[in-house]
Amino acid sequence: MWNTCPGLFKSVFRDNQVFHVEHETHFAQKSEPLTGMCIAFEVRIALCCEWLWNPPTIKMGRVIAVANQKGGVGKTTTAINLAASFAAAEVNTLLIDCDPQSNASSGLGFVKDPERVSTYHLLMGAAEADEALQTTELEQLWLIPSHKNLIGANLELVEAERREFRLRDALAAVRERFQFVVLDCPPALDLLTLNALVAADTVLIPMQGEYFALEGISELLDTIERIRAGLNPELAIEGVVLTMFDDRTNLAQQVMGELKKFFGEKLCATCVPRNIRLAEAPSHGKAALVYDPRSKGAESYIRLAKEIIGHYGPAELGVQAPGEQPAAEMDKSA
C-alpha cells in the first residue's frame, strides 16, 4: 500500500501475475517491458513523499463524473483507464458504470448478467452500494457494473422522490472507502447523467481532437451551471482531456489551440493519443495497462491519473492513517 510505504510496494494484481516489483529496483530497470508501471511507481513515490510532509486525515473520496453528451468521444475508455491507473498507483478506486450500454462493465470483463446487482438496483433503492461492489483484476479497483435494464431507470424514476439524488445517496455509505470514485456517463444529458453530476465533486470532459469538438459543449456547460445553481453547488470542472489525439495533423493542433483558448487551465496537459491498444483492450476485458502496459495509450492514462492526483493533496484524498483498514482489505467477496 502506498499509504504504508516507503519501503514496500506490492503487486497491483490480485493473482500476482506480472507486476510484483520492489520499488528499489524500478529505476534501474527503466528498459524492462514495464514502462507504464514505472510511471505508476513514480506517481506512488511522489505521493509517498507528500504523505510524509502532510499528515493524512480521513476524508471522503473524490467523485469524478466522466461526461460529455456527445457519443463516441472516449468517455468509457477514459473512465476505465483512468480508474485503472489510479488503482495501479495504489489509490483505492471505484468505477461505477452509469451507462445502460454497459461498456465500462464489459470492458473490464464483466459479461451481461441481469441478476447481478448493478447501478440500476442502486438507483431504484433495491440494493445497497456495498452489495453491488465487484472486485476486478486490479487489487485496488472495484466496479459497480451496469446492465441494459438501467435504461428503464430513466423512466421509472421520473415520479420518484429525490430522483436526482439517488446515486449520491447510494454512494454515501461506501464513499469513504475510496480515494477516487469514477463515474462513466451515457452520451445524453438524461436523468442518469444528472444523477452522476449530482453525485460528483468534479466533471472530467473527454473531447475528441476534431473539427466539431466544441459542438454541444455549451449545452453541457449550461447543464453543469444549472446543477451548480440548484442541486450540487460544489460541482467543479476537473478538466477537459483531448482524446484520440493525433498531434501530427495541423487540424489537431488547431483544435487544441481553440480548446486552450476556450478552457484555459482546465485543458489537461495530458492528451490521449489515438492508440490501437486502447481500442483492443476492452475486447479482452482488460484495462490498457493490464493488456499492454508499454502502449502509448496506457502510458497516457497513467500520466492523466498523475496529473489529476496532483490536483489534490494526500490529505484531501483521504489517505488512510497507518493501522486503518484499507479498502483493499475489504471483504473480497463483496
Ligand X SMILES: Nc1ncnc2c1ncn2[C@@H]1O[C@H](COP(=O)(O)OP(=O)(O)OP(=O)(O)O)[C@@H](O)[C@H]1O
Binding site for Mg ion (CB under 5 A): 75-76, 103
Rounded Cα gap, residues 312 and 118, in angstroms: 30
Question: Residue 210's binding partner, choosing from Mg ion, ligand X, none, with beta-carbon cut-off 5 to 8 A by kind?
Answer: none
Question: Residue 77's binding partner, choosing from Mg ion, ligand X, none, with beta-carbon cut-off 5 to 8 A by kind?
Answer: ligand X
**What would the DSSP string read from start to end of 198-209?**
HH-SEEEEEEES
* Sole window of 72-80, 130-138, 171-179, 225-233 interacting with ligand X (rule: CB under 6 A): 72-80
Residue ranges in 81-110 that form contacts with ligand X under rule CB under 6 A: 99, 101, 103
Q: Which residues is 241 bridged to in the sheet?
A: 206
Helix (H) or strand (E) holding 65: strand 62-66
Q: Pairing relation of β-strands 141-144 and 134-135? A: antiparallel
Residue 187 as a binder of ligand X (CB under 6 A): the answer is: yes
Residue 241, C-beta contacts closer than 8 angstroms, at least 6 positions apart: 78, 204, 205, 206, 207, 268, 270, 271, 272, 304
Q: Smallest distance from the beta carbon of 220 to ligand X, in angstroms?
A: 13
Question: Residue 145's binding partner, choosing from ligand X, Mg ion, none, with beta-carbon cut-off 5 to 8 A by kind?
Answer: none
Residue ranges in 115-134 that form contacts with ligand X under rule CB under 6 A: none
How long is the chain? 334
Residue ranges in 265-294 that form contacts with ligand X under rule CB under 6 A: 272, 274-275, 278-279
Question: Residue 71's binding partner, choosing from ligand X, Mg ion, none, with beta-carbon cut-off 5 to 8 A by kind?
Answer: ligand X
- Residues lying near ligand X in the complex (CB under 6 A) are found at 71-77, 99, 101, 103, 187, 243-244, 272, 274-275, 278-279, 297
